[in-house]
Amino acid sequence: MIDKKPAAIARCVDAADVQTCVNYGRDNSIPLAIRGGGHNAGGLGLVDDGLVIDLSLMRGIRVDPEDRTVRVQGGCRWGDVDHAAHAYGLAVPAGIISTTGVGGLTLGGGVGHLTRKYGLTIDNLLEADVVLADGSMVVASAKENAELFWALRGGGGNFGVVTSFLFRGNPVDTIFGGPTLWSLDRTEEIMKWYRDFILQAPEELTGFFVFLTVPPGPPFPEHLHLKKMCGVVWCYSGDMAEAEEIFAPVRELEPDLYGVHDMPFPALNSAFDPIYPPGLQWYWRADFFTEISDESIVEHARWAAEMPTMHTTMHLYPIDGAAHRVGAEDTAWSYREANWAGVIVGVDPDPANKDILRDWTVGYWDSVHPSSSGGAYINFMMEEGQERVQASYRGNYDRLAEIKAKYDPNNLFKVNQNILPKE
């Protein structure tokens, strides 16, 4: 659905290239966009008639197994990080699809398979190299430019171009994971069970709730092909000897598909890549939820039955556990008390279906939004206006606006969920 036509795309190979682009754009009043992995559904990696700072050639990684750190260039995708870190038995918590860019996902927050155990991606960020609007390059960390470091952790691409990230690597090797699926007519029962179970489960277990249509091919059994189902995609990163016991309550619910088994972490993180290749039409809407009420479950069940296309889906990612142990004002990510980041996603290859995708997504969102916490995870938002951006940062917005005024007073970096510089 993204139909933007930049004047030029600069394929940067290093920080000096990025500095040249920033200086050129600023001095010639040319709109700038920053493109990491190109996954932003609102098309915020591109800009009409402007210059795209494309980082996709900057994909170097260096793992330090002794310090347990992973240095990642700004254009890497998560599959690059998984590949390099797994060789040392380490992982950085990120999302659930390995083709997503490190840049956009990290700067927005980062939710995924390891959130309950190791926190959001930003909770594992130690340092960033940033090219600022004035063309200078600075390091942001807890020790240097601490305000900028605070803002980068959730504030998106508002403050500069990050050419390199330093992450903490966590000991993750073989995990026990995969999907369990149930027939859609059990939605109310399974969703009620899930909302109570996951918040009590050990933090080594993350499981996000899904509605999906079973893809018509292996490894899915033929009798389930193209069936709409509800389910949970699990990742257990604890002691493998205890995995069977951890999943006993799940098996008791007799799923129609029990696809959980041991596998290397990168295998789980790339398992859904083939279902979501480049070029699909995407329309999404999001919310944070502290509770999943009985009333909202009735609405979820109703809209799931109406999913318009095979790729269309709804996910509820748990963001409790380690993500709750960071304070609401410790990083720009304000919703530390929320238990789920929800996203409703209309997806299809055919551009002719774009209105159908949008109508279903917006209708579904309208019906569950009243039960939400108010704002949403900015990486699951389209271009939805300033009010929505402010609702997502709540009490942190003013501080972000002050930091924006210091580092980017003329709003050079505005193709993002934009934080307006404080006047």
Quick one: which of 160, 56, 50, 109 has its CA closest to 413? 160
Question: DSSP string spanning 132-153?
Answer: -TTS-EEEEESSSSHHHHHHHT
Stretch that binds ligand FAD, among 106-114, 143-151, 229-237, 327-335 (CB under 6 A): 106-114
Interface pattern 403-422 for ligand FAD (x via CB under 6 A): ------------xx------
**Interaction of residue 98 with ligand FAD, rule CB under 6 A:** no
Which 59-88 residues touch ligand FAD, going by CB under 6 A? Answer: 74
Q: In this structure, is the dihedral angle defined by the CA atoms of residues 399, 405, 410 and 413, taken in order, positive or negative?
A: negative
**Interaction of residue 195 with ligand FAD, rule CB under 6 A:** no
Alpha-carbon span 417 to 403, nearest angstrom: 15
Measured in Å, how far apart are the chain's first and last C-alpha atoms?
Answer: 35
| Contact residue for ligand FAD among 22, 84, 92, 96 (CB under 6 A) | 96
Using CA atoms, how far residue 238 sits from 73, 98, 117, 233, 332, in Å, is 29, 22, 9, 16, 29
| Contact residue for ligand FAD among 25, 36, 155, 266 (CB under 6 A) | 36
**Which two three-digit tokens encode residue 26?**
């600023």
Minimal distance in Å, beta carbon 333 to ligand FAD?
11
Alpha-carbon span 25 to 287, nearest angstrom: 34
**Interaction of residue 51 with ligand FAD, rule CB under 6 A:** no
**Which residue, 172 or 301, has its beta carbon nearer to ligand FAD?**
172
Stretch that binds ligand FAD, among 63-71, 110-118, 189-197, 286-294 (CB under 6 A): 110-118
Alpha-carbon span 125 to 107, nearest angstrom: 10
Minimal distance in Å, beta carbon 276 to ligand FAD?
5
**Interaction of residue 108 with ligand FAD, rule CB under 6 A:** yes
Minimal distance in Å, beta carbon 301 to ligand FAD?
24
| Contact residue for ligand FAD among 19, 98, 100, 124 (CB under 6 A) | 100
**Interaction of residue 246 with ligand FAD, rule CB under 6 A:** no
The helix/strand count (H/E) of the chain reads as: 13, 18
**Interaction of residue 103 with ligand FAD, rule CB under 6 A:** yes
Dihedral class, residue 87 (left if φ above 0, else alpha if ψ from -120 to 50, else beta): alpha
Minimal distance in Å, beta carbon 282 to ligand FAD?
6
Minimal distance in Å, beta carbon 185 to ligand FAD?
28
Quick one: which of 137, 147, 101, 140 has its CA closest to 121? 101
Minimal distance in Å, beta carbon 175 to ligand FAD?
15
Alpha-carbon span 177 to 236, nearest angstrom: 6
Q: Are 179 and 257 in contact (CB under 8 A)?
A: yes
Interface pattern 251-280 for ligand FAD (x via CB under 6 A): -------------------------x----
Alpha-carbon span 226 to 301, nearest angstrom: 17
**Interaction of residue 166 with ligand FAD, rule CB under 6 A:** no
Minimal distance in Å, beta carbon 341 to ligand FAD?
8
Which helix (DSSP H) or strand (DSSP E) does residue 10 occupy? strand 8-11
**Interaction of residue 21 with ligand FAD, rule CB under 6 A:** no
Minimal distance in Å, beta carbon 107 to ligand FAD?
5
Minimal distance in Å, beta carbon 121 to ligand FAD?
7
Q: Which amino acid is at 339?
A: N
Strands (DSSP E) found in 330-421: 340-348
Which 307-336 residues touch ligand FAD, going by CB under 6 A? Answer: none
Residues found near ligand FAD in the complex (CB under 6 A): 34-41, 44-45, 55, 74, 95-97, 100-101, 103-105, 107-108, 110-112, 156-157, 161-162, 276, 379, 415-416
